[in-house]
Amino acid sequence: MKIFLVGASGGMGRTFLSMQDQIEIVAGLASKEGEIEGVKIYKEFSDVKEDFDAIIDFSNKDLVDQTIDFAVEKHKPLIEATTGLEDSSMERLKQASGKIPIVYARNYSLGINTMTDLVERVAKVLADFDIEIVEAHHRNKKDAPSGTAFMLLDSVKKQRQVEEIYDRTDLHRVRQDDEVGISAIRGGSIFGDHTVIFAGEDEVLEIKHKAASKKIFAKGAIKAAKFALGKEPGLYSIKDIMKMGD
């Protein structure tokens, strides 16, 4: 399977480039043209000459619309992993999925996606427990809260009507029953930690996921690319990928 990698010079891009024993990166796109780990890197989509089977995008939200147009032009499956997308980009993804297969997820870790299922189930069973979501990432992550924190919040919302609270500094009141607090921590080189706390009377249940390496996200995206090959046009989720055998 031949992959064109968008965001090749970023942290996730370099992770993919270090895993070429598992995947063939034929070329990539980044802010500066050149070569990384023997792979040709372009600055403009219009200059790309190589053929490939699928596109994996771990770049930034400002580049997503161009990436979608490139995928449609080349008629190739797109594995979209960029977080913090604008509503207009999401709409563009949906429209493009009528022409090509697109897999979109805010987190490609299979462990995290299992966690979202667990959180949904526990939110239903422990209906009177307070819920807090805490996420921690490296000091260079720009968006906060993380896309994964919003995934976990969405799981809660499937079972409860809640209001998310990001800052209690000026509230000056006791916690309300329908609140879900979301806290973001930024520091050091933390790859990504997510905890959902269910706090009841005299007992606390925590569901936690710790990422020890960015490779877990790359492995999920590679699995998604294999899934997308030969699929009909459509917008697919990580849940579809998890149903697929190795």
Residues involved in catalysis: 137, 141
Among 81, 82, 74, which Cα is nearest to 100's? 74
Task: Measure the CA–CA gap between 176 and 78, rounded to whole angstroms.
Answer: 42
Q: Are 227 and 241 in contact (CB under 8 A)?
A: yes
Q: Are 101 and 228 in contact (CB under 8 A)?
A: yes
CA dihedral 214, 220, 223, 227 (to 10 degrees): -140
Which residues make Cβ contacts (< 8 Å) with residue 6, sequence separation at least 6? 28, 29, 55, 56, 57, 58, 59, 63, 67
Which residues make Cβ contacts (< 8 Å) with residue 135, sequence separation at least 6? 145, 146, 148, 149, 182, 183, 184, 185, 192, 193, 194, 195
110 CB burial (10 A radius; 0-12, 13-18, 19+): middle
Task: Measure the CA–CA gap between 241 and 246, rounded to whole angstroms.
Answer: 10
Annotate 29-50 with DSSP letters as a single string.
E-SS-EEETTEEEES-GGG---
